[in-house]
Amino acid sequence: MYVHCFSHQLQLVVVAVAKSIMAVKDFFSYVSMIVNTTGASCKRKDQLLMLEHKKLVKELNDEVRMSGRGQNQETSLARPGDTRWGSHYFTLLRLCSMWPSVEKVLEHVRDDTTSSDIRSSARGLLGKMNSYEFVFVMHLMTYLLGITNELSFSLQKKDQNIVQAMSMIDTMKVQLHDFRMTGWEMILQGVNRFCEVNAIPLIHMEDTITRPGYKRQSITNDHYYRVEIFNEVVDLTIQEQNTRFSEASTNLLRCMACLDPRNNFSQFNIDQLMRFTTLYPEDFGPGDYLLFPQLLLDFIINVHFVHCFFR
């Protein structure tokens, strides 16, 4: 038995969600196109920075934003990495905060570029940014990526031990389950507030729409956004978490943690260590199972004796 790197497994969870659900897959494709278009030349990058600088100065003058050491530094719309999904999280955060400036850059591209293909692409991206679905998926994925990103950084700490890591994984699972039960209203309020601030048309959840596809079924907006996006994304995230952080891997790691020598083997637990005999039945026979408790007890006694002798 073996266990993959926890941080890598978290990355695989998000990758599975992004590839399996069409609304999320399309969303990240459009985000990449937006980042690439706004950063395609030095002129566009400078224009984006200038717009952000003007917005910052106005907010400081209006006392909407506070000034201070290390605050309000220049930023850019970073290009997300293909394999590091933490970078996607920061890209979405910056897209949210730089939304008006990004729109203005795309409008300049649409109006001033000589290439008809680039103008058409910019027009399409502006249309996507002004759609309720784009904003909804952005808020939902920002929240989920925020959970996994914070945990990923914690799991990569060199001083992180197995017991703490398993506790953090369990906490994240509980957090996801709670979000599944109570997070809909929170996401919906955040999306509606963002749309109102940025003049994006709101929708009525009770209105009927036609589902894309060959069946052309009629469903309500509430069903589409709550069931086919929110529930499906969160359920798949929970499912992937349970699969990649399985009970077998959890038991193995908790048994290994009992051999941690720190704090004079404070995590030593004979009952937990005895579970190795069930995890590796081909390596342990019935006689070993009977002898091991006493052997383990002798081991820890000798460890404590040596520790006290050399203190």
Report pLDDT for 160: 60
Whole-model pTM: value is 0.76
Report pLDDT for 61: 66
Q: How far is CA 233 from the centre of its chain?
A: 12
Name the nearest CA neighbour of 18 among 36, 6, 35, 30. Answer: 30
pLDDT in tens, 183-211: 999 999 999 999 999 999 999 999 998 87
pLDDT, mean over the chain: 80
Is the separation of the CB atoms in 13 and 55 below 8 Å? no
Answer whether residue 248 shows pLDDT above 70: no
pLDDT in tens, 217-233: 789 999 999 999 999 99
Give the tokens for residue 148. 């996994």
Report pLDDT for 72: 44
Domain boundaries, the chain: 6-246, 258-310
pLDDT: is 4 or 55 the higher one?
Answer: 55
The helix (run of H) or strand (run of E) holding residue 218 is strand 218-220
pLDDT: is 76 or 206 the higher one?
Answer: 206
- Residue 265, by phi and psi: left (phi above 0), alpha (psi -120 to 50) or beta? left
Residue 48 CB neighbour total at 10 angstroms: 20
Report d(CA 128, CA 40) in Å as an integer.
Answer: 19
Amino acid, single-letter form, for residue 71: Q
Report pLDDT for 110: 92
Give the tokens for residue 45. 């990058």
CB half-sphere exposure, 151, CA atoms < 13 A:
28
pLDDT in tens, 90-121: 889 999 989 999 999 999 999 988 888 989 99
* Helix 85-97 and helix 99-112, axial crossing angle in degrees, nearest 10: 80
Return all residues near 285 (Cβ < 8 A) that are at least 6 apart: none
As a whole-number percent, the residues of the chain with pLDDT over 70 amount to 75
